[in-house]
Amino acid sequence: MAPFRFMDCAVTTLALGKSAQNLREFRDRMAEVPPQSISHHFYEALLRPVFDDPEYRNDFAVWARRQLHDNLLAERLGAIDPMEFESLETLRQEVVDIIEDRLAEATFVPWAAPGHEFHFQRSQMIVLDTGLSAATPGDLAARVPRLSTGSIFYHFVEGRRRPPLKADDFSVWLADWGPEFEAAREAIVAIDYHLWSLTEMRALIGWALHRLPRDSGGRTHAAHGGPPGADGRDDVAAAAPGDPGREVRR
């Protein structure tokens, strides 16, 4: 069995020079920005050091609530799960449709105050090989509580977007270890990234790995007193197989 290779990732953000101050402009810009901008505003917000609005997991919903003060629009945009869409173009169309429906309902076009426009951006992901690995499921369980949030994003969130499997790297690797690891694998698959921060996801994945059999490569889940990662530690980076669509640094 090939070991699980731990990767980390970071993103560089680039401005597109496109902005919107009201909802009509927002709709028009949304229809013309590159797909990478749609991806950035739905996914990469999770990687920012501070995420202080857990009710909404994408930048569009946050701006609608904070700057347009349109709670109904924010709720509709915040309810979108981008993983449910086959492509970024179909995701874009869903956002545009929601905006157009809201414009048809509203008695006036919502405006943001000067200085609080929505600025469209895109990002480039850089994947880093940490040189760390796990030879057994027990090793994986021991590593998870110390993974960086970049590692969790790459393996758990980005993995679900990566063709052809579109599944997180942890559960894919555990599937090759046989049916006795199925309970842990299913518990990881059941975690909805849309509901949690990366730190919370790390703790939930660690807790799911408590379902490993007692003998999992010399380690047991009994060694962990509580949900792994519950202390919010973020001191060790880690991750999985290289992605040819990403830049990898060693």
Rounded CA-CA distance 164/162 in Å is 6
Higher pLDDT, 143 or 235: 143
CB within 8 Å of 110: residues ≥ 6 apart: 22, 23, 64, 68, 69, 70, 73
Kind of pairing between the strands at 118-134 and 247-249: parallel
Confirm whether pTM is higher than 0.75: yes
SS3 category, 104: helix
Report the Cα 32 to chain-centroid distance in Å: 24
Q: Report the alpha-carbon angle 145-152-53, nearest 5.
A: 100
- What is the reported pLDDT for 52? 54
pLDDT digits (tens, 9 = 90+) for 168-179: 999 999 999 999
Rounded CA-CA distance 215/209 in Å is 13
pLDDT digits (tens, 9 = 90+) for 38-60: 999 999 888 876 555 567 889 99
SS3 category, 124: strand
* Residue 74 identity: A
Report residue 116 as tokens: 């609080």
